[in-house]
Structure 1
Amino acid sequence: MDMKIKEVAELVGVSIRTLHHYDQIGLLTPKETTDSGYRLYSEENLETLQQILFFKELGFTLKEIKKIINSPSFNRQEALILQRKMLIEKRNKVDKMIKTIDKTIKHMAGEIQMTNEERFEGIKFGFNQFEEEARRRWGNQSIDEINTKLKGMSKDEQNDLSDRWNMIFNKLACLRDQSPESQEVQATIKEWYDFLNKNFSKYSLDAFYGLGQLYINDERFTKNIDQYGEGLAKLMSEAMKVFTNNQIRGGRNENNN
């Protein structure tokens, strides 16, 4: 049975204004609007709204959510499986931080002694797991610059950076069934390219291409990336190759004009 907008708002716990906004931006269009102006929401609308709210909880923007759920390759069941995995990871991270807080309270009360390692359990910033490999391939100077930059960040800034990193990988994981040449994949790969250049080191197109090859040629990288979704490393590698070639080709065209 179809539901009026007020009923949906009360059921879900969002405002009527929010549902109006979703309709206006083409994110969630009601099944029908009656002659008297009532928006009616179907069972399918409610399923879509559930997807929207799960993605929002995981930090996706409305623009990103719209791209994902409107993609021809979008599969609701696969999305739920991925969302479950992401929420479990988020829960585990929160559980570890709560455990660290509990230990810290006991430590402050003199009940236990904490090591420095225990003090930061669950909130460690872990982009350096392949630091040795990175140093060998790209030299000490660039890696030292990255580490210096990270150490100069506050914990909140580091966590924001970590969340953005995960966000990009999770977005790409939702697009694994698409062609690496698709508009959605290429737009997200550009986000990855811009993210790396803004926050870590200046990547030339050749270096970015080489990084993509590393994702599939080094099983450590492949295993780590595919934790977000099987086959993600391969998609990213191929998409990074397409991105690089498109950028180089575009540069040539500009020079010829």
Structure 2
Amino acid sequence: MKTVKQVSQLTGISVRTLQYYDEIGLFKPTKVTVSGYRLYDAAALEILQQILLFRELHFPLKDIKAIMQDPQYDKNDAFIRQQKLLEAKRDRLNDLLALLNKLIKGEKSISFKEFDMSEYFGLLKGFRNNHEKDIVKIWGSVDKFDQTVDKIKENEERAAKAAIQFYGSIDNYTAAMKKYLNELPKKAQNLNHLISGDYIAKTAELMKKLTLDLRKDVSSNEIQCIVGEWVDLVKEETNGLKNNDWHLLTEGFLLDNALIEANDKMYGKGASNFIGKALKVYWNDLKL
């Protein structure tokens, strides 16, 4: 049997994170002593290894918990799909390493293709030209949509890094966004029912609770538990969102002028940035 401290030293995960896994029912200790010490056997460590692999592949905690508790879930299929993502990331890193190697040797090699988002911005332009009514319905006005795109352009390097982090390459990200934008008008229609229900009231309550003190650490258990409640609420009301939906929503709190303005006005200056950062931590599993 290993103590929680020993497991922490073995895996590199903080004791706090292991305790959090226990609190949410994701990873329980094999035994808890009379004194309250958590102990883990070899079988438990195998389970933890599997959880950490899912986290390394950017699976949200809620999804991992569902996977671990569902005997019908095809884990091997999930591993194969994520393997392709990691291979794409590996290829991109190999390209960057090759570029750095040339520069170290003194060779002149100017290349920006790894960070080129021109195709993505062209996609947004095409969407603007062909879906003005949908844009007004979702963003409030075409001007607000343009402001959002302008802000992404101002933060293009950050947006490119985020795209590569989540999708392995900007090409993969652009392809995913093309599919997302094609489905967006239908999604907007399906979400209309949320306005008439008590979803808005529940969301407002959780957001007030989340942004009560903007000085708090977004990675704290308290904040992350509130974020988890809100994520569960959204999933329940929308019949689940895909990973690219959550990525866009998270980035929206950080980059979308209309969303930033609305949240800061309702919950205080800096609230939207606070929410966006808290969501980023949530999807990256409390990596402090």
Taking structure 1 as the reference length, the TM-score comes to 0.50
Higher relative contact order (CA 8 A, sep 6+): 2
Find the structure with the greater CA-based Rg.
Answer: 1
Taking structure 2 as the reference length, the TM-score comes to 0.46
